[in-house]
Amino acid sequence: MRDIILASQSPRRKELMESVGIPFRVMVSDSEEVFNEAIAIEDAIQEVAIAKAQSIAKQHPESIVIGCDTIVYQNGKILGKPKDQEEAFQMLKSYSNSSHQVISGVAIIANGKIESFASVTEVHFYPLSDEEILAYIEAEQPYDKAGAYGIQEKAKAFVKSIDGDYFTIMGLPIAALYQRLKKFQ
């Protein structure tokens, strides 16, 4: 079995990889997350994932390297990791009784070849009170999560429905990745 490297420090991505029995190791990419706003958002997120994978693949050309990135997208705007409580509050408030997209880009580099894809999931939230939002922020401290929430946390109580892959929302469309990895083994 070939060496597989996950170029991500996300504990959720690590858990998802482990949950389907993919043997791998983690190396954190030093690549900067730069979004090319001149292209489609699905293409831009793949470029970020490719850059993360390439930064590790250069040092380990014999390995299969997986790069990932996830964003929340609403009304033509990328919602990244909130910098403070106010920004987290505004993000969560914007989801109230509304919907947004979570987009995960994934890149696989092996044998000098790059395969990438994007997975898009539409998330619909119930109406949220200011008190609910503040209690969530206080309990979960969502500053390390794109869009200020983790669906696997208490925020699952806010989600009315999803259209797409649940695991995309967690940061890694694991089934789609698993199927693609079979080609590289």
Residues labelled as active-site residues: 69
CA-CA-CA-CA torsion sign (42, 43, 45, 50): positive
Length of the chain: 185
Give the position of tokens 């009304």. 75
Cα–Cα distance for residue pair 83/112, rounded to 1 Å: 36
CA dist., res. 33 & res. 35, Å (int): 7
Rama region for 151: left / alpha / beta (φ>0; ψ in -120 to 50; rest): alpha
CA angle 134, 104, 82 (to 5 degrees): 30
H helices of the chain, where? 11-19, 41-57, 85-95, 130-140, 166-170, 174-181
